[in-house]
């Protein structure tokens, strides 16, 4: 029979083994990425030193692929070697040439992967893999997706993947949902540059907004057959996905939050708290076109939370009306100029047309 002391010992050992495996997996993934970077560099240097003629590089990769596959097995197809080559071209400035020369021991003619006269791996190889500054914190499968993107998008999605610990699946979902374009559409030119370099920075309420919000994970059909209650229930059923769509720092607090004034009861669809902004975020769901009444209702909710719920050290409450069809003119003339508490945004039940969003973004930044 298992005693309490045995259970405690088991749990302690389990924690050590589990942690060790995670650490080992991270180190292995990092090693794979750095090796692929070096392979890509060697291929490029060989091309630059060789004859420049059509098909030369492809012929080399075919021969190299055959030899490496014979020696090491799977993973060295021509397509995979092309990926490693492109990876180096994309990130060649990530590890400086001065560092590479230093790691080589200033012997430019020798590769980091060369062996010394005793047949041992060069000290340079182990040193570059043990550098404290990790230039490639994501997995190789992450970088396979990132090298397919243009520069602005790539920087943004890499930073967001690191900051939010995205899996490859989540990275692809965010890319396919055009997260960069949807966040950028709410920003000016200077903010878009910062967005590309730093990812999403939460300093003011508008920083948490997207246009539109993409709710394809709910599985609702794009037709007027669902109700607001069904939309809300679908979100609750997929709350983890909805939190990812909302962004960093969101905590779910309540649904159908009741507030009362004298004999009247009102219900706020969804209540969240954002740790980054240190404020409540109220969300009202509308399956139709935004109306003046919707804005007035949200204004009442926000005022109530500011006066009755939030603590003195917390920031003002933010209200977001998620609607099927926005009405910017109604918003503009209903709310005071310069207000930064209440926002209306559209939602879509399908992945957006990325090219169309890019056109909108380019148009906005040119005006």
pLDDT tens digit sequence for 260-311: 988 899 999 999 999 999 999 999 999 989 999 999 999 999 999 999 999 9
Domain span including residue 105: 4-142
Do 67 and 168 have their domain in common? no
- The mean per-residue pLDDT over the stretch 181-202 comes to 84
pLDDT band at 110 (very low <50, low <70, confident <90, very high): very low
Do 215 and 270 have their domain in common? yes
pLDDT for the residue 37: 92
- The mean per-residue pLDDT over the stretch 110-124 comes to 44
User: Closest Cα partner for 217 from 245, 183, 190?
Assistant: 245
pLDDT for the residue 56: 60
Residue where a domain stops, chosen among 142, 174, 189: 142
Do 163 and 123 have their domain in common? no
Beta-bridge partners for 320: 283, 343
Global pTM value = 0.75
Q: Which residues contact 247 (CB under 8 A, 6 or more apart)?
A: 200, 202, 208, 210
- The Cα–Cα gap between 231 and 221 comes to 11
- The Cα–Cα gap between 169 and 349 comes to 19
Around Cβ 326, how many Cβ atoms within 10 Å? 20
DSSP 8-class letter at 105 = T
- The mean per-residue pLDDT over the stretch 29-50 comes to 86
- The mean per-residue pLDDT over the stretch 191-219 comes to 88
Do 122 and 192 have their domain in common? no
pLDDT for the residue 111: 46
| Any domain includes 68 | yes
Do 213 and 125 have their domain in common? no
- The Cα–Cα gap between 148 and 145 comes to 6
Least-confidence region, from 51-65, 173-187, 286-300: 51-65
Mean pLDDT of the chain: 84
pLDDT band at 169 (very low <50, low <70, confident <90, very high): very high
- The Cα–Cα gap between 164 and 96 comes to 27
- The mean per-residue pLDDT over the stretch 231-249 comes to 94
pLDDT for the residue 24: 80
pLDDT for the residue 304: 95
Higher pLDDT, 295 or 194: 295
Higher pLDDT, 212 or 96: 212
Q: To the nearest whole percent, how much of the chain has pLDDT over 90?
A: 49
| 208 touches 278 (CB < 8 A) | no
Do 37 and 121 have their domain in common? yes
pLDDT band at 120 (very low <50, low <70, confident <90, very high): very low
Residue 126 has pLDDT above 70, yes or no: no
Question: Dihedral of the CA atoms 247, 250, 252, 254 (nearest 10)?
Answer: -100
Structure tokens at 12: 């302690």
Do 20 and 135 have their domain in common? yes
Residue where a domain stops, chosen among 142, 177, 200: 142
Higher pLDDT, 354 or 117: 354
CATH number for 280 = 3.40.1350.10
Residue 321 has pLDDT above 50, yes or no: yes
Do 121 and 185 have their domain in common? no
- The mean per-residue pLDDT over the stretch 136-159 comes to 93
| Any domain includes 147 | no
Do 161 and 237 have their domain in common? yes
Do 176 and 56 have their domain in common? no
pLDDT band at 122 (very low <50, low <70, confident <90, very high): very low
- The mean per-residue pLDDT over the stretch 341-355 comes to 90
Structure tokens at 62: 């075919």
Residue where a domain stops, chosen among 105, 120, 142: 142
| Domains identified in the chain, total number | 2
Q: To the nearest whole percent, how much of the chain has pLDDT over 70?
A: 84
Do 87 and 55 have their domain in common? yes
Higher pLDDT, 24 or 312: 312
| 136 touches 116 (CB < 8 A) | no
Do 114 and 157 have their domain in common? no
């Amino acid at each position: 029979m298992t005693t309490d002391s045995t259970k405690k010992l088991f749990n302690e050992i389990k924690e050590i083994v589990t942690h060790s495996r995670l650490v080992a997996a991270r180190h292995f993934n990092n090693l794979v990425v750095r090796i692929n970077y070096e392979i890509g560099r060697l291929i490029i240097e060989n091309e630059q030193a060789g004859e420049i003629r059509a098909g030369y590089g492809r012929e080399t990769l075919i021969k190299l692929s055959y030899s490496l596959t014979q020696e090491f097995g799977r993973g060295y197809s021509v397509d995979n070697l092309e990926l490693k080559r492109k990876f180096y071209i994309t990130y060649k400035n990530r590890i400086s040439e001065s560092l590479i020369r230093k790691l080589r021991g200033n012997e430019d003619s020798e590769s980091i992967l060369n062996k010394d006269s005793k047949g041992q791996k060069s000290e340079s190889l182990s040193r570059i893999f043990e550098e404290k500054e990790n230039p490639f914190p994501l997995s190789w499968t992450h970088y396979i997706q990132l090298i397919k993107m243009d520069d602005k998008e790539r920087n943004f999605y890499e930073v967001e993947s690191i900051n939010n610990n995205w899996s490859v699946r989540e990275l692809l979902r965010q890319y396919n949902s055009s997260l960069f374009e949807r966040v950028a559409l709410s920003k000016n030119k200077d903010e878009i540059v910062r967005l590309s370099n730093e990812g999403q920075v939460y300093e003011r309420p508008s920083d948490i907004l997207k246009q539109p919000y993409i709710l394809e994970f709910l599985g609702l059909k794009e037709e007027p057959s669902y109700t607001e209650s069904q939309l809300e229930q679908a979100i609750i059923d997929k709350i983890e996905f909805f939190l990812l769509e909302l962004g960093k720092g969101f905590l779910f607090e309540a649904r159908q939050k009741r507030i009362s004034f004298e004999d009247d009861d009102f219900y706020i669809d969804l209540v969240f708290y954002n740790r980054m902004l240190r404020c409540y975020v109220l969300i009202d769901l509308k399956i139709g076109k935004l109306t003046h009444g919707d804005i007035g209702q949200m204004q009442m909710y926000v005022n109530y939370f500011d006066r009755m719920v939030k603590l003195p050290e917390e920031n003002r409450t933010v209200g977001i009306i998620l609607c099927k069809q926005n009405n910017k003119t109604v918003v503009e003339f209903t709310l005071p100029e310069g207000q930064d508490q209440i926002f209306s945004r559209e939602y879509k039940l399908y992945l957006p047309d990325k090219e169309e969003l890019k056109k909108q973004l380019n148009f906005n930044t040119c005006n």
